[in-house]
Amino acid sequence: MKYRWLHISDLHSICKGIRTKIMKENLIEEVKYINQQTPLSFILITGDISDKNNGYDEAKALIHRLLNVTGVSIENVFIIPGNHDLDRGVPNNRESEVKKCWNLDILDDQESAFIESLLPGQSDFFKAYEDILGRKYPIEKIHFVHELDDNIAIIHLNTSWMCYDSENESGRLHIGLNNVIKCLDDERLSEKPIKIAIGHHRINDFNKTVENYLKSLFKLKDVDLYLGGHCHDSSVIFDPSIDTEFCSCRQARAEDVDYPAGFIIGDINTDNDQSSFQFYNWNSGLATWTYDYTVSPAKHGKYYLRGGKFTKEPIVNRNVIVDLKLFGIPLNYDILMNQFDINNSAIYRSSVRDIRPKNQEEWNLCLEEIINIYNEIIVGNNKYIHIFPLALIPLLVSFGYLIQNDNNNIRIYQYYENESKWVFDEHDDEIEVFSTIENNDSQRLALALSVSDEVKKIDIEDILGKDYDLLSVSIENPTLSKLNYHNDVLRVKSAVKNELDKLCSKYDEIHLFLAAPAGVCIEIGRIIRENMYPRTFVYNFVKDNSPRYSKVFNLKEIKDI
């Protein structure tokens, strides 16, 4: 069973600030890119599509643009109202009616009267719902079920019908439990393996009694997920007592720096145990979408569903795949898992892609992504970690430096360009490695590693001048895609390590000039011992620049960035 969906919330579509305009243009492109990898099955929009009920046209335009780039059918878009999708002046006595509800533990027999009084405040939303989706909102039901297909039902919960004062109503809301029961008694629900409930508010926005009774109903009716918004922040909580995940989505506007924009990609994949939420965050520094690292307990922005229907192997027991392929066509995980027999693994990837930093700030932002992968995925992990890298050399070396040489369970694969495939230890080309040292009695040592191309002395001198000693390590006739397999990588690593370990204490600085495959670059970073080596600088090469090399990171300082 495989499904993928987009979850967005809190569009507040009247917001037209330049930050939000740029963010939304990038949202369209990001969703298009995601959809090209694995097509979306449906789209969920959990309320506040307007802002204080001031029009819905902008929301309609955004939703239809999302449909155009994804190919999702309009029938597979599901929207519920938020507290901004109502007229707070309807009825005239709305404030007093709402406050009466606040004072009640349970509405019970007064529920119908309150709904009849307060529901007209959502009339504009109901009209917009029909205009956007081409189908009527079943107003008389308050809450209702929509069948996606034979496997999934989407439970629409109108959590906003009694809203009035968003500053003071949290923890006081009612949902209308009698109508929730009617909704969940829909006989179609019992036939669906997966039940997804959507509502605008978080479960703890209801008063405590309502929250507890709603959870009890979720357990009785086997509701798997409850997805919402409202708080303009992302969160996920699994309640094992009812086997339900509660997930909130960030807002879809970018003017409030304290609450960045975000969205969620949900996956149900019971075929290979890959059901998850991937949280996205609008990075205002890079002006691009990255993963949201702030969501706990998600690792590197990814949360694997814990419910019994979704997880065969608990996340703590899984090996790990780290996708560090920052350029080109994304990895095909199904092929890789089958090829290298690494099934039942948790998969984490970098959200930075196709970015070539132009200044130190951009390099540091990319490094933050690498550091987060290390902190969230590598540290303390005693499972096998399978790394598939293709990135700029300073980032690869930095990643290796973070990992160090202390974990024997790390496997670094390489992309064999000539055969367009990933390889590990299937073969040994027995490539010979040569090393020489040129001593000029300097306090600086330059390492020139020539594997994929020749590192030229003239380019090093453009940066360091004449004052340096030179350690040259190379293979015969350095060319692209010549050194690929694990034993050859280790041979290069061993040659460099043996020389640097002997020399490092003699120098105040080491400067790394590398022309080597991605896996080799990571391994070079691993041998730069944190407590043994002096300041060690890594350089980036750009052929058309002058000078061609530029200093990017001091490895001894990257953890402080």
pLDDT at 407: 85
Please tell me the distance from the alpha carbon of residue 19 to that of residue 307, in angstroms, as a whole number. 37
**What's the pTM value of the predicted model, to 2 decimals?**
0.93
**In this structure, are residues 327 and 354 in contact, taking their beta carbons and an 8 Å threshold?**
yes
pLDDT at 536: 98
Q: At what angle do helices 18-37 and 57-70 cross, to 10 degrees?
A: 30
Within its chain, how far is the Cα of 443 from the centroid? 44
Side-chain half-sphere CA neighbours of 204 within 13 A: 8
Hey, what are 128's tokens?
């917009």
State in Å, rounded, how far the first CA of the chain is from the last one.
42
Strands 235-239 vs 244-248: parallel, antiparallel or unpaired:
antiparallel
Q: How many residues does the chain have?
A: 561
Within its chain, how far is the Cα of 413 from the centroid? 23
Largest CA distance in the chain: 92
Please tell me the distance from the alpha carbon of residue 95 to that of residue 97, in angstroms, as a whole number. 6
Which residue ranges in the chain fall short of pLDDT 70? none
Smallest CA-to-CA distance from 146 within 44, 229, 59, 232 is with: 44
Evaluated on CA atoms 451, 456, 459, 461, the torsion sign reads: positive
Sheet of 345-349: strands edge to edge? 345-349, 319-325, 385-390, 410-412
The reply to whether omega before 478 is within 30° of 0 (cis) is no
Smallest CA-to-CA distance from 558 within 403, 398, 379 is with: 398
Please tell me the distance from the alpha carbon of residue 538 to that of residue 558, in angstroms, as a whole number. 11
Angstrom CA distances, 163 to 72, 121, 143, 423, stand at 31, 9, 16, 58
Please tell me the distance from the alpha carbon of residue 179 to that of residue 44, in angstroms, as a whole number. 22
Q: Mind listing the pLDDT tens digit for each residue in 29-73?
A: 999 999 999 999 999 999 999 999 999 999 999 999 999 999 999
Measure the CA angle with vertex 414, ends 536 and 557; round to 5°: 20
pLDDT at 313: 86
Hey, what are 209's tokens?
């009694």
Strands 2-8 vs 42-46: parallel, antiparallel or unpaired:
parallel
In 103-200, where does DSSP find H-type helix?
111-118, 123-133, 177-184
pLDDT at 356: 87
Hey, what are 356's tokens?
């070539």
pLDDT at 452: 96
Burial class, 320, CB count within 10 angstroms (exposed 0-12 / middle 13-18 / buried 19+): buried
Burial class, 36, CB count within 10 angstroms (exposed 0-12 / middle 13-18 / buried 19+): exposed
Gyration radius (Cα) of the chain, Å:
28
Q: Mind listing the pLDDT tens digit for each residue in 163-180?
A: 999 889 999 999 999 999
Beta bridge partners of 313: none
